[in-house]
Amino acid sequence: MAWENQTFNSDFILVGIFNDSPTHIFLFSLVLGIFTVAFMGNTVMVLLICLDNQLHTPMYFLLSQLSLMDLMLICTTVPKMVFNYLSGRKSISLAGCGAQIFLYVSLLGAECFLLASMAYDRYVAICHPLRYSILMNQKICGLMAAFSWILGSLDGIIEAAVALSFSYCGAREIPHFFCDVPALLTLSCTNTLLFERMIFICCIIMLLFPVAVIIASYVHVIVAVIHMGSGEGPRKAFGTCSSHLMVVGMYYGAAMFIYMRPSSDRTPTQDKFVSVFYTILTPMLNPLIYSLRNKDVARAFMKVLGRVPSLLYA
């Protein structure tokens, strides 16, 4: 009964990152603008890849899954942050906190494995082009995406279930703008050391294993591109791979900074601002990086725009 009183009878308080000062109002407006661009950009990417038959390839199918994950990730944290800031209510229920933990941990984990799958796709396309249709057929591509979602979801279920099994007491103020597990654990009345070690081990699996696959894939890709010599082929291969490497560097760099540092080195301010980078800024940059550097996506976008007048006047 005491455990129930501590854990279920009161909401958590999300401290957030903004106050009412002019500078913070400007930053809040900036984040809202970034959210709008990210929401529209990822939605457009998913729709373009679904609507354009020429984009129905393994690479673009995986890219559509990345955009879908980014779309869900940014919708997991930002709308609640905006509502709390505008309404002045900073509370979040236990169920809401659990839902945020499950969704963002699942999506982050799924993106880790998906980015590794995208690296493998580029490796096969460049190093084994004649066997590409066999090694990356529709079934294999679907399985890679499905396993990314499943493995991410398993991690989310475990972390959410264990995090909410602890007793929480005191002010119950989470020093963050969403229910981040490390920030939540600072409020626990019980010893969470074992769980923190488990999170660290999960991070090794969810981050370092995909990074190893990505590095191995791109080492082979770089060697293959060097052997190609000069010409249109190497430039196109390098352009496609460099877009992916930019996304990988931003995503994994921020995630490792957050989750693979000792708890003694962490500060709430650092965690909040780095979290803004990988939960808000990166989902905005991903579609921009892939669309601005990709002629196929730009062509599909112009093709869809060309259909709009005919649909309006039909």
In order, the DSSP letters of 46-68 are HHHHHH-GGG-SHHHHHHHHHHH
User: Token digits for 181?
Assistant: 């597990």
Domain count, the chain: 1
Cα gap 254→282, rounded to integer Å: 10
Specify if 183 maps to a domain: yes
Phi, psi (rounded to 5 degrees) for 24: -70, -30
What pLDDT is stored for residue 107 in this prediction?
94
Higher pLDDT, 309 or 169: 169
- Reduced to 3 DSSP states, what percent helix, strand and coil does the chain have, rounded to the nearest 5? 80, 5, 15
pTM summary value: 0.86
Asked, for residue 40, whether it belongs to a domain, the answer is yes
Distance CA 238, CA 248 (A): 15
DSSP three-state, residue 173: strand
For residue 283, being part of any structural domain is answered with: yes
The DSSP bridge pattern shows strands 173-174 and 12-14 to be parallel
- The answer to whether 152 and 113 have CB atoms below 8 angstroms apart is yes
Burial, 134: exposed, middle or buried (Cβ in 10 Å; 0-12, 13-18, 19+)? Answer: exposed
pLDDT band, very low/low/confident/very high, at 66 (cuts 50, 70, 90): very high
Instruction: Establish if 99 belongs to a structural domain.
Output: yes
| Average pLDDT value for residue range 52-67 | 90
| Nearest-angstrom CA–CA distance, 195 and 210 | 22
Radius of gyration of the CA atoms of the chain, in A: 21
Question: CA 172, CA 12: separation in Å to the nearest integer?
Answer: 5
What mean pLDDT do residues 185-196 have? 82
- Tell whether 310 is covered by a domain: no
Q: For position 178, which CATH number holds?
A: 1.20.1070.10
* Integer angstrom CA distances of residue 194 from 77, 108, 191, 198, 199: 27, 22, 8, 6, 9
Q: For residue 311, is it within any domain?
A: no
Distance CA 181, CA 196 (A): 9
Q: What one-letter code names the amino acid at 43? A: T
Structural domain boundaries enclosing 128: 20-305
Beta bridge partners of 100: none
Quote the pLDDT of residue 94. Answer: 87
Kindly report, residue by residue over 91-148, the tens digit of the pLDDT: 898 889 999 999 999 998 899 899 999 999 989 988 898 999 999 998 999 999 999 9
Q: Is residue 13 part of a domain?
A: no
Strand pairing category for 91-92 and 12-14: antiparallel
250, 237 Cβ separation under 8 angstroms = no
- Residue 125 domain-assigned? yes
CA 143, 259, 245: angle at the middle one, nearest 5?
A: 55
